[in-house]
Amino acid sequence: MIRTLHKMGVRSSHMYGAGIASIGLTVVSWFLSNRYEHAGIDRADRWGLFIGEWAPTLFAMGIALRMEEMQAEKERETPEWREQPTEMRRPTRAGV
């Protein structure tokens, strides 16, 4: 799933931003629910907790995407001949 997101163009910074936004959305949803719904503070707390649980998931996905980005960078920097195991390399005949 993470590799698919990476191929689709989703980056770790997007997930970190979404995690931070969800923290702000938690506060806003709690405030709005407490102020405009007449169900009491228990309902507002439930809304805040529901949305507040998104942040750790989004941050964890950001970390996983960052690891995927680092792997892609490493693969771009590694020459093709270094990727093959030693026993599969063709022997060279230097000086012949």
Is there a domain that residue 90 lies in? no
Is there a domain that residue 80 lies in? no
Is there a domain that residue 96 lies in? no
Is there a domain that residue 14 lies in? yes
8 neighbors 34 (Cβ within 8 angstroms): no
Q: Which amino acid is it at 33?
A: S
Is there a domain that residue 85 lies in? no
Is there a domain that residue 88 lies in? no
Is there a domain that residue 94 lies in? no
Rounded Cα distance between 90 and 34, Å, is: 71
N-to-C CA span, the chain: 51
Low-confidence residues in the chain, pLDDT < 50:
none
pLDDT of the residue at 92: 63
Rounded Cα distance between 19 and 13, Å, is: 10
How far is C-alpha 29 from the chain's CA centre? Answer: 24
Q: What is the mean pLDDT of the chain?
A: 82
pLDDT of the residue at 21: 95
Could you identify the residue written with the tokens 């998104």? 54
Considering its fold, how many domains does the chain have in total?
1
Is there a domain that residue 34 lies in? yes
pLDDT of the residue at 55: 93
Range of the domain at 54: 2-72
pLDDT of the residue at 49: 84
Question: Does the predicted model carry a pTM greater than 0.85?
Answer: no
